[in-house]
Amino acid sequence: MGFFLRSSLAIVKKDLRIQFRQKSLLLSMIVFALLIQVLLHFSFQANQAALHHVAAGLLWLPIFLSALLGIGRLMAIEEAEWNWEGMWTAPVDPGSIFFGKMLGSLLLVFLVEWVSVPLFFILFNPPAPQSLPLLIGCLLMGTWGYVSLACLFSVMAQASRLGDLLLPILLFPVSVPLVLAVVRLTQIALFPTMPGQEWVWLAVLGAYDILFTLLPILLFEYLLEV
């Protein structure tokens, strides 16, 4: 267990180091999120009345799309110089390689959220969240599950002829339950008119996160094998 976590953390450290030196990927992800927010504003003409319905989407779509593109690039650094193979030759559990890449990606997406979420409040002027803990919990858990599957599917997509295009095709259908959960929870956090519902959705998110973190960890070696 110790070795598992140590290796994962070494991978996280490595990825963050590389990304903070280059900065270009992180900045691009943030800019992209902002651009989506602007685009959505024009697409939905979200005035205050409509906000009730589209707020969750306005908050989450930039995150989903920015993570999609960013994670594709993050997984791709390993393709150069055959680094997946390099890690495969190490005695580490392949699951810990996945977990490390996943945690690193998660931290970067959180950084994007640090910018995009406040921007959401500034640009669209929703009411202050009635339940801030709920909103934060929803952001944490929702991002976790989404990023985990995105990392797994990104590795699959990169092995294919279609490349990054395959990632959303694989990810979106499977992530529907997560999307439903975070949208409902965001709505409840911002406009609490549906009391009591949140526990079901938090349970769905929790189960989803656990299941779709454990399964990839167990199955990752089959993807790494040459």
Partner 1 sequence: MNNRLLLWQRVLGWLALLMVAADVYFVFFYAPTEKYMGDVQRLMYYHVATAWNAYLAFGLVLIFSILYLWRREERFDHWAASAAEVGVLFTTLVLITGPLWARPVWNAWWKWDDPRLTATLILWLVYIAYLILRASIEGQRGRRIAAVFGIIGFVDVPIVHFSVQWWSSFHPQVISSQGVNMTGEMVVTLVFTSLAFMVLFFFLLLARVNLEKSAAAAARLEERLYSAD
Partner 2 sequence: MSVLVHLEGATVKRGVQRIIRELDLMVHEGQHLALIGPNGAGKTTLLRLMAQLLRPDAGKVTLFPDEPKMQKRGRLRSAVGVLMEGSYLYEGLTVEENLQFYGVLFDVPDLKRRIEEGLTRMELTSVRHKRVGTLSKGMRKRLAIVRATLHQPRLLLLDEPFDGLDERSIGELQLWLEELASKRCTLVLISHDLSLIQPLCQRVCLMDQGRIVQSWRRDEVPPSLWEQGYGHWLGRV
Task: Report the interface residues with partner 2, using CB under 8 A.
Answer: 3, 6-7, 10, 13-14, 17-18, 21-22, 77, 80-83, 85-93, 225-226
Compute, in degrees rounded to 10, the torsion defined by CA atoms 93, 99, 105, 108. -120
Q: Least separation, in Å, of the C-beta of 24 and partner 1?
A: 29
Q: How far apart are CA 221 and CA 84, in angstroms?
A: 11
Q: Least separation, in Å, of the C-beta of 104 and partner 2?
A: 13
Q: Do residues 84 and 224 touch, judged by C-beta distance below 8 A? A: yes
* Structure token pair of residue 113: 């959220």
180 binds, among partner 2, partner 1, none (CB under 5 to 8 A by kind): partner 1
Residue type, 221: E
71 binds, among partner 1, partner 2, none (CB under 5 to 8 A by kind): none
Between 23 and 161, CB nearer to partner 1: 161
Q: Is 169 in the site for partner 1 (CB under 8 A)?
A: yes
Residue that the structure tokens 């989803």 belong to: 208
Q: Is 141 in the site for partner 1 (CB under 8 A)?
A: no
Q: Least separation, in Å, of the C-beta of 88 and partner 2?
A: 7
Q: Least separation, in Å, of the C-beta of 21 and partner 2?
A: 6
Between 6 and 53, CB nearer to partner 2: 6
Nearest to 145 by CA among 105, 97, 112: 105
* Structure token pair of residue 108: 């970067």
What is the phi/psi pair of residue 50, to 5°?
-75, -20
CA distances from 197 to 188, 190, 194, 201, 203 (A): 8, 14, 6, 7, 10
Residues that bind partner 1 (CB under 8 A): 149, 152-153, 156, 159-162, 166, 169-170, 172-174, 176-177, 180-181, 184, 200-201, 204, 207-208, 211-212, 215-216, 219, 222-223, 225-226
